[in-house]
Structure 1
């Protein structure tokens, strides 16, 4: 294998999870397909909080049905018979699929996208141009919408915020790489093997001087294999845009040997190691590494918040806090890092002429757009998600605050803010 030029086909990811659970892995190809999608017959986008505490007090199916009823009422007078039939069939079919997904819930949130290509009312069947479901590592605000394009803001925010973490399962015989992302794990179609991994044993050892030479040869062979493995990890990390790295091995000493061979820049990105058998399946890898990643996220979250707090409190610092001031900075493309409490949502408005966003603590829309004076303003149920997408589009970062202690800190400053470029 030429490790200096990894074949792009080796970087393809296997879809994760067992078929019974039925979730899709959030890869860039699928997200791009959703972004480009403009379905001819409309599309249903669904986000649901499926944390145990929420499910106990407000069942997901009840919230889904309430959202569907709200869409019916909103479009009752505008839709013709064909549009009503299409929507009702998709809503019924999606409700049945949702019940199956909720039978074995994972993660803290659920996102579904369903765009019908053809509806057969007599057969009660829907053929989809696209149907996909994702479970999310953090609970989204409930949102159920029908329109001519998918509602992607909540998904994009969680995708951008989630670190792409490489996982390397390694022993003296082989190396298996994985990608941990958004609460799931997928495998790369690549296995690096040691062509002579067998340690010297009594059954096949040489004696005397020959035995000593054979031991030296095997140790040098192992060191060469380690160097090749470290090079493979570096190439995969660069091609896969890994932010962090978790090492796994049946023997943690083997993982430490590999870490020592990594370039200094990647040794610093190793956030932990776990003990795993080489035959571990995707779910086993996921369950072992997610706690390590969660702890690293908490540390980084705290560091970002402390930096933001320092800028907000410093005279003429590069920090902004509160919804109105933060939105103004976002609209002026001055926000490098947007920080927001995970539970903070607020409605706002978007100008249909210039695309400008408007929000304050007010409940009623302004008389006109503050940017172009247009009176054509469309209500948005979650202005925070739209702000996050705008920050990402301008090359900035988004930090959604999940840790309880960190949430108390951001709560002291209006639950939302930003670190500014200028």
Structure 2
């Protein structure tokens, strides 16, 4: 299970020896265990790190239970570093060798599947879920006072007579409002504890609207969608619906993000696009959010002393005077450095606008 602590460890690990990173798709739709092992052997054919290859092959031979849909492994035998993270979501088959773990694919997965808070709400209470990388991490609930309906036809059912509508008294409305407020307070604590990045609301239109209106504005801004759902729905049903709605909302959000990035970069207003300008910002730890097209790779140059990144051909670092060497994938380094410095990474899956702008860009801290 990949939590923030594990991710932070990966980002901080830099080795004088090569680190082998392996992502393997083990989704049942992609075959069986024999097919996975064959793909793994083909992926590792060109890797000249026998101890690391042996460690990974031994793991799949004796330890992996093949119950997940993807698995991520990092190995650096000389440093006795070996980490494995089975996942509940499929991953692309990737092998990468560098001086640090390759977190490019993880950044994409975290961007797409990380930090979903889901609330099912009715007039009496709420059920709360936290889904991360396709797994249910937390599930809690709060139940308030029962809402008792009166029989239809009495004076209390006349609209306006007791501040209510047909079948509802003012007392009922007060109970509902009190329950909603308690549910919202409970939900805010739940969101904060789990560091939720996006929120989806399930229930009737009326209940969802009332719940959302009571949320603090900071949390309202994280609501990306809502859907009808029975309060007794199982977590698998809730997850499937949340992912469906969430992915559609993510596509719309990415479109707006790219428009904002390109507009601000053109005005020189806190954003840049293109590899040269982006690597310069990354090197200065000025990136608040790195934006990169999925699958984009580009060789560049990196200082072996201070880590300065540049797309320009050079042998001496202009910052510290250290030796500069060519690296096969500067984007992977940029992603790792941005996340290590506390910045966010947005992996864009389809955007002609971003491709025209150089496939990479960044919003700046200053």
Check the 8 A contact 1:336/1:419 in 2, yes or no: yes
Using structure 2 for the length normalisation, give the TM-score: 0.76
**Is 1:293 equivalent to 2:259 in the alignment?**
no
Paired position in structure 1 for 2:286: 334
Q: How far, CA to CA, are the matches of 1:70 and 1:336 in structure 2?
A: 36
Name stretches of at least 5 consecutive residues in structure 2 with no aligned partner. 163-167
Q: 1:25-83: per-residue Cα shift (whole Å, max 9, x none)?
A: x32234345557799x997531246899999xxx7655422332322xx246xxxxxxx
The answer on 1:235 being equivalent to 2:189 is: yes
When the two chains are superposed, the root-mean-square deviation of aligned CA atoms in Å is: 4.3
> Residues 130, 386 of structure 1: CA spacing in aligned structure 2 closer, same or farther, 3 A cutoff?
closer
* 1:92 aligns with one of 46, 58, 70: 58
Superposed, which structure 2 residues align to 1:4-19 within 5 Å? Answer: none
For 1:263 and 1:359, how far apart are their aligned partners in 2? 44
1:357 to 294, 309, 315: 309
Deviation per CA, 1:63-117, whole angstroms, max 9, x where unpaired?
422332322xx246xxxxxxx4x7525423326767935xx73xxx75234689x
Contact 1:166–1:242 under 8 Å retained in 2: yes
Corresponding residue pairs, total: 351
Query: Structure 1 CA distance, aligned partners of 2:263 and 2:8?
Result: 37
Paired residues of 2:11 and 2:340 also in contact (CA < 8 A): no
Sort the Cα spacing of 1:389 and 1:169 in 2 relative to 1 into closer, same or farther, 3 A.
Answer: same
Mapping of residues 20-419 of structure 1, within 5 Å: 24=1, 26-32=2-8, 34=10, 45-48=21-24, 61-71=37-47, 74-75=48-49, 84=51, 87-94=53-60, 100-101=66-67, 105=69, 110-113=71-74, 131-135=84-88, 142-145=94-97, 150-156=101-107, 158-159=109-110, 164-188=115-139, 190-194=140-144, 196-197=145-146, 199-200=148-149, 215-249=169-203, 251-314=204-267, 316=268, 318-359=270-311, 367-375=315-323, 377=325, 380-402=327-349, 404=350, 406=351, 408-419=352-363
**What are structure 1's unaligned runs of at least 5 residues?**
1-23, 77-83, 120-127
Whole-angstrom CA distance in 2 between matches of 1:167 and 1:173: 17
TM value normalised by structure 1: 0.67
